[in-house]
Structure 1
Amino acid sequence: MSFKKQYLKTKPICKVTFKLTKEEAKNADSVKLLGDFNGWDKSSQPMKKLKSGGFTATVNLDKGNDYQFRYLLDDNEWENDWEADQYVPSALAYEDNSVVAV
């Protein structure tokens, strides 16, 4: 799991590309990236599945903010990004949420 940040020079936006390998996704058929940036909406578009079996998604985020997020594997198993900028306790569960700081 990892993400790559690309700051735009002309706008206060950071393009963040999230990636999971097939193994990190636990061979899931679908993965959704849910977080503050999409209202944790489980009906959000799934991440793009790669030929390798991994997944990727790019999100434009406003600079100067922290965003909590998690991955939802096959609509039933939550997974953190273990290379996140930090972790914070979830308000809804006894687990942490991943955080990306832009």
Structure 2
Amino acid sequence: MISKEFTPKRTVCKVRLTIPAEWAEKEVAVAGDFNDWDTAAEKLEKKKDAWTTTLRLKPENEYKFKYFIDGERWENDDAADKYVPNEFGTEDSVVSIGE
């Protein structure tokens, strides 16, 4: 699930990413355009029945991303705004931040 909330002046969009707890046993990272695809930069926190994190992203942009799960596999977000092909022959999730 992806939810978006703008700050009052709309200079930042807080994007909450949430995936089901059963997707991972140990850890989930999110990597994408916003962190140079660094799998150590942004870890999701396990809360009850879900993994979640909140990113602070600039409006009027689109960001490609994927989840890196348990240090071994990549997954897309089921609720991404769209999906685009990548150079590995699969697809990346995209979140679009309006103005």
Q: TM-score higher than 0.5 here?
A: yes
Structure 1 moving runs of 4+ over 3 Å = none
Q: How many residues align?
A: 97
How many percent of aligned residue pairs carry the same amino acid? 35
Match of 2:32 among 16, 31, 35: 35
1:61-100 to 2 correspondences below 5 Å: 61-91=57-87, 93-100=88-95
CA distance in 2, matches of 1:3, 1:9: 20
TM-score (norm 1): 0.88
Deviations 1:11-42 (A, max 9, x none): 4110000001113x1x4210001110111012
CA distance in 2, matches of 1:43, 1:9: 30
Structure 1 portions without partners, runs of 5+: none
Per-residue deviation, 1:45: 3.7
What RMSD over aligned residues (CA atoms) do the two structures have, in Å? 1.2
Match of 1:7 in 2: 6
